Amino acid sequence: MTLTTPEGLDHAIRVDVAPDFRIEESAPDEQRFVFSYTVTVHNTSRHSVQLLARYWKITQGSGKVQEVRGKGVVGQQPLIGPGQTFRYTSRAILDGPVGVMEGAYTCVDTASQRPFEVVVAPFRLAGPNQVH
């Protein structure tokens, strides 16, 4: 999944997400399904940007919705230079074998100090033997 910031902005940020089911950390008998997801943020603009905050909406197969907000990602507020990428891996724990995550990053263009939001399109979390 790839998403770019809307046209008309001075910056272009693309986000790729690769989810993975973590069978060795999961306990299906206890309704514990662990997923990792690796996010790569590509700065294809001419300016440096800093990722300041994150927002995730996690919708489980049961319909339960969890919202997560916080500063930065994995304890960092990375500065991403022109043409550079930042990659990190995090986890989500669900009570069932399927779910969907979507969200947004709040960033700032370091040249203009203008904040902007990068929307992360929905991506699916699915355990083994689940329809993708």
The predicted-structure confidence for 1-11, as pLDDT tens digits, reads as follows: 443 444 444 45
Q: SS3 string of 49-70?
A: EEEEEEEEEEEECCCCEEEEEE
Two tokens, residue 27: 């306990």
* Domain count within the chain: 1
Q: Is residue 22 part of a domain?
A: yes
Band of pLDDT at residue 130, cut at 50, 70 and 90: low
Q: Is residue 106 part of a domain?
A: yes
Distance CA 114, CA 119 (A): 16
How far apart, in whole angstroms, are the C-alpha atoms of residue 9 and residue 12? 7
In a domain, 69, yes or no: yes
Indicate the DSSP class of residue 11. -
The residue to which tokens 């603009």 are assigned: 45
Report yes or no on 3 lying in a domain. no
Q: Give pLDDT tens digits for 69-101.
A: 999 999 999 999 999 999 999 999 999 999 999
**In a domain? residue 107:** yes
Enumerate residues 6+ apart whose C-beta is below 8 A from 86.
40, 41, 43, 51, 78, 80
Q: What is the domain range of residue 77?
A: 9-124
Task: Using pLDDT thresholds of 50, 70 and 90, give the confidence band for residue 129.
Answer: confident
Query: What is the CATH number for 115?
Result: 2.60.40.1470
Measured from the Cβ of residue 111, the count of other Cβ atoms closer than 10 Å reads: 14
Segment 14-70, tens digit of pLDDT: 999 999 999 999 999 999 999 999 999 999 999 999 999 999 999 999 999 999 999
In a domain, 18, yes or no: yes
pTM, full prediction: 0.88
Decide if 2 is inside a domain: no
pLDDT digits (tens, 9 = 90+) for 99-126: 999 999 999 999 999 999 999 999 999 9
